[in-house]
Amino acid sequence: MAATADIAAFLKSVKLFREFTDSELLAFAARLDERTLKQGQVLFREGDPGEEMFVVQKGTTIISKVVSGRVEQVLARATAGDFFGEMSLFDRSPRSATIQAETDVALLVLDREHLNLLIEVNPRAAAAFFHSLVYVFIERLRASGELVAEITRWGLEATGLDMESR
């Protein structure tokens, strides 16, 4: 297991934590657990319950979603500094995608209990975390909107409809 200071130093490079002071990073790092996955190991599947978020410290994970039956579509890859699973910290809904290790992976884990403790113990650090999270949500929402527009264009092209001539 890495020392809290090493975890804090890594977190400083993660977009989600850039607004944290050094002391806030240390406080936050102390609240994180560590988990490792071997190549090919599944962390969780779409539909599983969850209440943790994960930050990739080393390695690459594949984020995929069931399209039909046993067919899955790779949505993204998460590498060092990326995070996922944050929705379950707030809504306790089933996991929206499957996460599998593409390589050996080291993860930092934040669960709801430790997030609530951070809010109580260090409200400034919690506010910085939530502020950064909102910006990441906005980026992801914009990217999703662009993907929907692109898929719609593909569908229109596949049907032979020419929306430009109307």
pLDDT tens, position by position, for the chain (166 residues)? 578 899 999 999 998 888 788 888 888 888 899 999 999 999 999 999 998 999 999 999 999 988 887 788 888 899 999 999 888 888 888 998 999 999 999 999 999 888 888 888 888 888 888 888 888 777 867 877 776 677 777 777 777 766 565 5
Q: Is 165 contained in some domain?
A: no
Give the helix, strand, coil percentages of the chain, each rounded to 5. Answer: 45, 25, 30
Question: pLDDT at position 1, please?
Answer: 57
Is residue 154 a part of any domain in this protein?
yes
pTM: 0.80
Q: Is residue 166 part of a domain?
A: no
Domain with 118, as residue range(s), is 4-160
Distance CA 25, CA 123 (A): 13
| Structural domain count, the chain | 1
Domain presence at residue 94: yes
In a domain, 128, yes or no: yes
In a domain, 56, yes or no: yes
Residue 63 lies in a domain: yes
CATH number of the domain bearing residue 75: 2.60.120.10
